[in-house]
């Protein structure tokens, strides 16, 4: 039986690239899809019809995560890897405190970026417990690093990633003694749609980043008993 992974936010960008990378290595991939009208994931499925299963998923919704987890459980008895990739940026990142902050939007960012991964871990944990890999990967960001922060705004996104890092630390404390292995990744500034439209000014292609991240995820010789946030070049970041 081929190893199996569930990837959130697989519609496009890094999630799509991570899916393609694992599929090319022979993995079975359950791809969380939020945007049903986005064509790239379906095109990827046409290339790997026996390996790629598209699963409707909104990580901001308890009901959606519950339905997705149940659906995956009808397709497989176990999972080896979960990559919590789904996330959003904030449309107005640079508003200073004096000009009034968009709190409703910040709560949406927090719900997706911080609580979303917890929902997915909770929903899929029974399948992950049965898998041989027991790997949990979380796509974080240097924006959540308290030790390195020099920003004066960007409240919603940075706070959401800092909260995610704390959630991952708590999960590590609880699940590492039970055999789970963890990866916390800062992918860098990519040409993706994090802000709603494609960021062509960014430094990195998601396919290149995905290759480096997958290599780190599957390397069982490093960071098996500790939690470290690393970028795609293997550099550790304070968080």
**Is 216 considered catalytic here?**
no
State the pLDDT at residue 148.
74
Cα distances from 100 to residues 92, 96, 106, 107, in angstroms, run: 11, 7, 12, 15
Residues of the chain where predicted confidence (pLDDT) is lower than 50:
none
φ, ψ of residue 186 to 5 degrees: the values are -105, 110
Which member of 157, 169, 193, 226 is catalytic?
A: 157
**Is 157 considered catalytic here?**
yes
Which member of 161, 198, 208, 235 is catalytic?
A: 161
Q: Name residues whose C-beta falls within 8 Å of residue 163's C-beta, 6 or more positions apart in sequence.
A: 110, 113, 114, 144
pTM confidence score: 0.92
φ, ψ of residue 220 to 5 degrees: the values are -90, 15
Contact 52, 31 (CB under 8 A): yes
What element of type H or E holds 185?
strand 181-186
**Number of compact structural domains in the chain:** 1
Q: What's the CATH number where 193 sits?
A: 3.40.50.720
Contact 27, 51 (CB under 8 A): yes
| Cα(228)–Cα(223) distance, integer angstroms | 7
φ, ψ of residue 136 to 5 degrees: the values are -125, 120
State the pLDDT at residue 80.
99
Structural domain boundaries, residue 201: 4-237
State the pLDDT at residue 143.
78
């Amino acid at each position: 039986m081929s190893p199996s992974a569930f990837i959130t936010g697989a519609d496009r960008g890094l999630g799509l690239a991570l899916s393609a990378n694992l599929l090319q290595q022979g993995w079975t991939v359950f791809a969380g899809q939020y945007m049903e009208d986005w064509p790239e994931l379906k095109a990827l499925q046409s290339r790997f019809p026996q390996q790629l299963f598209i699963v409707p998923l909104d990580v901001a919704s308890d009901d959606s995560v519950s339905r997705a987890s149940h659906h995956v459980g009808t397709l497989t008895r176990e999972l080896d890897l979960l990559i919590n990739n789904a996330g959003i940026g904030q449309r107005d990142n640079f508003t200073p405190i004096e000009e009034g902050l968009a709190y409703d939007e910040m709560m949406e960012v927090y719900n997706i970026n911080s609580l979303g991964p917890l929902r997915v871990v909770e929903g899929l944990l029974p399948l992950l417990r049965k898998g041989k890999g027991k790997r949990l990967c979380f796509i974080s960001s240097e924006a959540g690093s308290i030790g390195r922060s020099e920003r004066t705004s960007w409240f919603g996104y940075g706070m959401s990633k800092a909260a995610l890092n704390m959630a991952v630390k708590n999960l590590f404390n609880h699940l590492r003694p039970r055999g789970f292995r963890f990866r916390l990744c800062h992918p860098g500034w990519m040409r993706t749609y994090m802000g709603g439209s494609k960021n062509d000014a960014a430094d990195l292609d998601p396919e290149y980043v995905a290759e480096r991240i997958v290599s780190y995820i599957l390397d069982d010789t490093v960071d098996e008993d500790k939690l470290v946030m690393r970028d795609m070049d293997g550099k550790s970041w304070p968080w």
